[in-house]
Amino acid sequence: MTYVLHYAPDNASLIVRLALEHRGLPYRAALVDRAAKAQETTGFRKLNPNGLIPVLETPEGPLFETGAILLYLADRHGGLGPGPDAPTRGDFLKWLFFLSNTIHPALRRLFYPEKYIALAHIDAMRAGTQTDLAQHYATLEAQAVRGWLLGGPAPTALDFYAAALLRWPKLYPATASRDWFDLATHPALARLAAAVEALPATVALQNAEGLGDTPFTAPSYPQPPEGSAT
């Protein structure tokens, strides 16, 4: 079948789009209009009861959670990560969950602190989250010194996920300081970002979501042909 990717520009759906494009898998992109809060509608919540993007419609039904979608695609189609019997499977899983369960939620707390804590405590929460994230990116930097995150000859879904997590800290939240993160101080991650940026899959992403010429190494705010990032 042709997959259906429910997306918004510069949301976590871009990671899934990279995976689909990299593997050359047939899919149709269905815009979720965040400006109109389409992700909160009854129709969208039938696909994802949490009202979050992305959702991928598959033969087995709709999938949500970025890490789950990537793992599904990797196991179903190969070429995005080691299979269940591969010796590097454990490494793939632990880093996938580190990205999806540790770094990504921390960024959400940084970008949307009002969803997690009273307004009076937002500054303290941001400061603590930035400290945590600095350590997380240092951990990721140490892993990236081998090239791709698994050290193999080709990118996996991990590298697509990591590239997005390197992009967003330089852009969001627009109303707060973003000086806490500097990709130049993480040379291995900077090389990884540049390598993902050079892939053909990224060209398709740039065209579809208006992410500019350097979406991961020197990101700018998206200028999408449709929809909005927030």
Tell me whether residue 183 is in a domain: yes
Q: Could you give the CA distance from residue 163 to residue 211 in angstroms, rounded to a whole number?
A: 13
> Exposure pattern of 206-229 as b/e (b: 16+ CB <10 Å)?
bebbbbeeebbbebeebeeeebeb
Instruction: Please give the pLDDT value at position 153.
Output: 95
Tell me whether residue 20 is in a domain: no
Using a 10 angstrom Cβ sphere, with 0-12 exposed, 13-18 middle and 19 or more buried, the burial of residue 90 is exposed
**Collapsing DSSP states into helix, strand and coil, what is residue 127?**
helix
Range of the domain at 117: 89-199
CA-closest candidate to residue 125, choices 173, 81, 163, 58: 173
Domain count along the chain: 1
Tell me whether residue 218 is in a domain: no
Tell me whether residue 13 is in a domain: no
DSSP state of 99: I
Instruction: Please give the pLDDT value at position 174.
Output: 85
Query: Which pTM value belongs to this model?
Result: 0.96
Tell me whether residue 148 is in a domain: yes
Instruction: Please give the pLDDT value at position 166.
Output: 98
Instruction: Please give the pLDDT value at position 120.
Output: 87
Tell me whether residue 166 is in a domain: yes
Instruction: Please give the pLDDT value at position 26.
Output: 97
Per-residue pLDDT of the chain (230 residues; tens, 9 = 90+): 799 999 999 999 999 999 999 999 999 999 999 999 999 999 999 999 999 999 999 999 999 999 999 999 999 999 999 999 999 999 999 999 999 999 999 999 999 988 888 888 999 999 999 999 999 999 999 999 999 999 999 999 999 999 999 999 999 998 888 999 999 999 999 999 999 999 999 999 999 999 999 999 999 999 999 999 99
Tell me whether residue 210 is in a domain: no
Instruction: Please give the pLDDT value at position 68.
Output: 98
Tell me whether residue 55 is in a domain: no
Q: Could you give the CA distance from residue 17 to residue 204 in angstroms, rounded to a whole number?
A: 9
Looking up residue 118, the CATH number of its domain turns out to be: 1.20.1050.10
